[in-house]
Amino acid sequence: MSTIYSSVKKSTRLKKDDVLALLATQQRIQTLVPGFKFNLGFSGKYFHHGTAEENLGDDMLLENVDRFTWFSHMWNHQQPHLYENVTHLQADMALNKLFAKEHGIPTVSGYSVSPHHSGVYPVHEGLYEAWKRVWNIKVTSTEEYPHLRPARLRRGFVHRNIMVLPRQTCGLFTHTIFIERYPGGRDKLDESIQGGELFQTIVYNPINIFMTHMSNYGNDRLALYTFESVIKFIQCWTNLRLSSAPPLQLGERYFQLYPEEADPVWGNPCDDQRHQKIWSRNKTCDQLPRFLVIGPQKTGTTALYTFLSIHPAISSNLPSPDTFEEIQFFNGKNYYKGLDWYMGFFPASKNESSRYLFEKSATYFDGELVPRRAHALLPKAKLITILLSPARRAYSWYQHTRVHGDAVANNYSFHAVITASDTAPKPLRDLRNRCLNPGKYAQHLERWLSYYSPQQLHIIDGEQLRQNPIETLHELQRFLKITPAFNYSTHLRYDPKKGFFCQVTNEDRTKCLGKSKGRQYPPMEDRSNKLLQRYYLSHNTALVKLLKRLGSRTIPQWLKDDLTDTVMT
């Protein structure tokens, strides 16, 4: 099924003869594509803003309002990302809705398009919010996701329950309203129609949405010629059956065909000049992190986060009311809240370029979707991970959940958890997986390295972080290329009562992590330890190979010990 869906933007003028030609062409296309109607967008502020002859064209469009379908543009055709206040954006939309009601234009299509591609992608949250409140928009379209070019890679996504469909380009623009000004002239346009770019665009996309300016429907009426000609050519030279559908139906059909596209992948607006131009002026890519501490959990990530926060040139995100120092953006539902939500944790300051922004979310490490998502937004970021004995990490996670009142952990022994079968109750299986899966270090690191280069990854030995954090942090500074180096030896001191290093305060006292950190747990049962050493044998062996491939000079002692214990067992 191939759908032709053309939109006319009411920002320039048609005369009465142009409207008659529009109606006549629509009627001819309807014999080839049942149910076809041009979908007209309107910006009410510019009604009757032309010459007397052009104003008669406006009147004639409204006299034939029932013969077209309609969608709301913006009242004054201003780009939505220029509105910093969503209230003003809603007021603008409300004026356009009032105009529609006063002139008998339908207001229930559920479809809208933003001027100059603004606000749809990169997402301007105010646009989506205003669309839902004023128009109950359910479908829109853009040429910008993930990028304008190459056109064949345009995709759709869903955000705030609004379906965003990929829009195609037909080769007509505001500067191509006369055939003598068309690059290459009529021969070049016909080439596109008769087997060229436009023809192939329609043939290779089961759903097509085109939008071109009203000026292309007046003047030399190149839009009418182009669409009618390409439809006739397709009917003549292919076996494709063309049909038309309203926007909501198109959206539902698109995501039935491509359900995997519903989840967006937020790219970095600063990597695309077009995206920078249609991005809110109060945003800057200096607000995005330069490195990520990716975990895994129970390896010392909170201690590292605390030590990094002492550094005068390093800043972390604002705390989350739900997950404290962790944003947990790339690996859960927070990702669907969008880039604006994420950047809200990194408020702009005057010295952006000199700061090393970072965030720590320990659940990133083993998240299946995280590396792809993180790389799309932060392709130049550096990654920090902490590794220690996976058996010890699994036991620590189990004890952590017990302390925090997890019912499953308090009802099952550690051995019962790690030996739970796949037929066990789901809560028990979930706890088993959270204990065991993050420790498959090589598997998860390989996933990260399929997106990031080895030069962007720094692996910290968790035992070294605990025993000698000062040298560990100095190595990390060298990796991050932070200058001048910060001397941690005067800011960290070993606290014999806590059993680990703590921050030195101005009063020459130590400020340590809370009671939940550094707890002493009962020793792991020997049978559980032996089982885990066998379970992680292949994973630890793969980790040794990976570390050598990455050029590591030394293998962590805990890894040698785990492998030795397994051989002895």
pLDDT for 569:
54
Nearest to 377 by CA among 292, 266, 271: 266
Per DSSP, helices labelled H in 419-525 are: 426-436, 441-449, 462-467, 469-480
**Mean pLDDT value across residues 60-86:** 93
**Which ranges in 437-468 belong to alpha helices (H)?**
441-449, 462-467
Cis peptide before 34 (omega within 30 of 0): no
- Answer yes or no: is 132 a known binding residue: no
486, two tokens: 């910060």
Residue 120 to residue 137: CA distance in whole angstroms: 12
How high is the pLDDT of residue 353? 62
Topology annotation, domain 2-261: TIM Barrel (3.20.20)
Angle at 387 between CA 385 and CA 389, to 5 degrees: 165
Q: Is 295 helix (H, G, I), strand (E, B) or coil?
A: strand
Amino acid 519: pLDDT: 72
What integer is the mean pLDDT of 62-88? Answer: 93
Question: For the chain, what are the domain ranges?
Answer: 2-261, 284-488+523-565
What DSSP element (H or E) covers 510? strand 510-511
In three-state secondary structure terms, 404 is coil
Query: Does residue 351 have a pLDDT over 80?
Result: no
Question: Which secondary-structure segment (H or E) carries 409?
Answer: helix 407-411
pLDDT at 6 over 50: no
400's torsion region: left (phi>0), alpha (psi -120 to 50) or beta? alpha
Whether 520 has a binding-site annotation, put simply, is yes
426 has binding-site annotation = no
H or E element, residue 62: helix 52-63
**Residue 8 pLDDT more than 60?**
no
Q: Whole-angstrom distance between the N-terminal and C-terminal Cα of the chain? A: 63
DSSP for residue 363 = G
pLDDT on residue 356: 93
Burial letters 297-317, b for 16+ CB under 10 A, else e:
bbbbbbbbbbbbeebeebbbb
Q: In this predicted model, what pLDDT tens digit does every residue of 125-162 receive, in sequence order?
A: 999 999 999 999 999 999 999 999 999 999 999 999 99
Query: Reduced to 3 states, what is the DSSP secondary structure of residue 117?
Result: helix
**pLDDT bucket at 10, cuts 50 / 70 / 90:** very low
Q: How far is CA 40 from the centre of its chain?
A: 30
Contacts of 330 (CB under 8 A, 6+ apart): 361, 364, 367, 369, 370, 373, 374
Structure confidence by residue, pLDDT tens digits, 354-411:
689 999 999 999 999 999 999 999 999 999 999 999 999 999 999 999 999 999 999 9
Strands 510-511 and 291-295: unpaired
How far apart, in Å, are the Cα atoms of 461 and each of 37, 144, 388, 420, 558? 65, 43, 6, 30, 9
Rg of the chain over all Cα atoms, to the nearest angstrom: 30
What average pLDDT does the segment 287-312 reach? 96
Q: Pick the closest to residue 141 from 64, 92, 207 (CA basis).
A: 207
Mean pLDDT of the chain: 93
User: Which carries the bigger pLDDT value, residue 506 or residue 532?
Assistant: 532
What is Dmax (Cα atoms) for the chain? 95
CA distance 33 to 30: 5
521 assigned binding-site residue: yes
At 517, is the pLDDT very low, low, confident or very high (cuts 50, 70, 90)? low
Cβ-contact 33, 243 below 8 angstroms: yes
Write the class of the CATH domain 284-488+523-565.
alpha beta
Q: How confident is the model at residue 176 (pLDDT cuts 50, 70, 90)?
A: confident
pLDDT tens-digit readout, 438-449: 999 999 999 999
534 assigned to a ligand binding site:
no
- For the cut 60, the answer to whether the pLDDT of residue 7 exceeds it is no
What does residue 277 show for φ and ψ, rounded to 5 degrees? -70, -25
Identical fold between 2-261 and 284-488+523-565: no
Q: Which helix (H) or strand (E) holds 252?
A: helix 247-257
For the stretch 213-256, pLDDT in tens is 999 999 999 999 999 999 999 999 999 999 999 999 999 999 99
Active site residues: 298
Whether 392 contacts 400, CB under 8 Å: no
pLDDT in tens, 407-435: 999 999 999 999 999 999 999 999 999 99
What pLDDT shows up at residue 13?
A: 87
| Cα 106 to Cα 109, 437, 537, 547, distances in angstroms | 7, 54, 67, 64
Q: Across residues 547-553, what is the average pLDDT?
A: 93
Q: What does the alpha-carbon distance between residue 124 and residue 82 come to, in Å, rounded to a whole number? A: 10
Please state the rounded mean pLDDT for residues 302-312. 95
Neighbouring C-alpha atoms within 13 Å toward the C-beta of 447: 17
567 pLDDT more than 70 = no
